[in-house]
Structure 1
Amino acid sequence: MSGVAGGAAAGAVRVERVVTSGTFSLDGGTWEVDNNVWVVGDDTTCVIIDAAHDAAPILEAVGDRTVTAILLTHAHDDHITAAGELRAATGAPAYLHPEDRVLWDRVYDEAPDRELADGDTFEVGGVTLRTLHTPGHAPGACCFHSAELGAVFTGDTLFHGGPGATGRSFSDFPTIIASISDKLLALPPETVVHTGHGDDTSIGAERGDLDAWIARGH
Structure 2
Amino acid sequence: MTAPRIERVVTSGRFTLDGGSWDVDNNVWLIGDDHEVVVVDAAHDADAVAAAVGDRRLTAIVCTHAHNDHVNAAPALAERTGAVIWLHPDDLPLWRQTHPEREPDAWLTDGQVIEAAGADLRVLHTPGHAPGAVCLHDRGLATVLTGDTLFRGGPGATGRSFSHFPTIIGSIRDRLLTLPPGTRVLPGHGAPTTIGEEAPHLEEWIAHGH
TM range (shorter): over 0.9
**1:40 and 2:6 matched:** no
Match of 2:72 in 1: 81
Counterpart Cα distance in 2 of 1:114 and 1:156: 21
1:136 to 128, 134, 140: 128
Partners of 1:79 and 1:123 in 2: CA distance? 21
Checking the alignment, whether the CA contact within 8 Å between 2:42 and 2:63 is kept in structure 1 is yes
Question: Deviation digits for residues 27-61 of structure 1, max 9, x if unmatched?
Answer: 11000000000000001101000010001111111
Matched, 1:191 2:171: no
Note the C-alpha offset of 1:127: 2.1
Alpha-carbon RMSD = 0.7
Q: Secondary structure at the match of 2:196?
A: helix
Tell me the distance in 2 between the aligned counterparts of 1:110 and 1:60: 24
Tell me the secondary structure at the aligned position of residue 70 of structure 1: strand
| 1:210 maps onto 2:202 in alignment | yes
Structure 2 residue runs of 5 or longer lacking an equivalent are none
Query: Of residues 72, 79, 87 in structure 1, which corresponds to 2:63?
Result: 72
1:124 aligns with 2:112: no
SS of 1:87's partner is helix
Find the partner of 1:28 among 19, 26, 30: 19
Structure 1 runs (4+) greater than 6 angstroms displaced: none
If the length of structure 1 is used for normalisation, what is the TM-score? 0.94
Deviations along 1:88-137, one digit per CA (max 9) or x if unpaired, are: 01101100000000100011122100000101101112121000000000
- Is 1:97–2:88 an aligned residue pair? yes
Amino acid of the structure 1 residue aligned with 2:177: L
| C-alpha deviation, 1:68, in angstroms | 1.0
Q: Distance in 1 between matches of 2:134 and 2:90?
A: 10
CA–CA separation in structure 2 for the residues paired with 1:130 and 1:158: 17
State percent identity of aligned pairs. Answer: 60
Name which of 163, 176, 189 aligns with 1:171.
163
Q: TM-score, normalised by structure 2?
A: 0.98
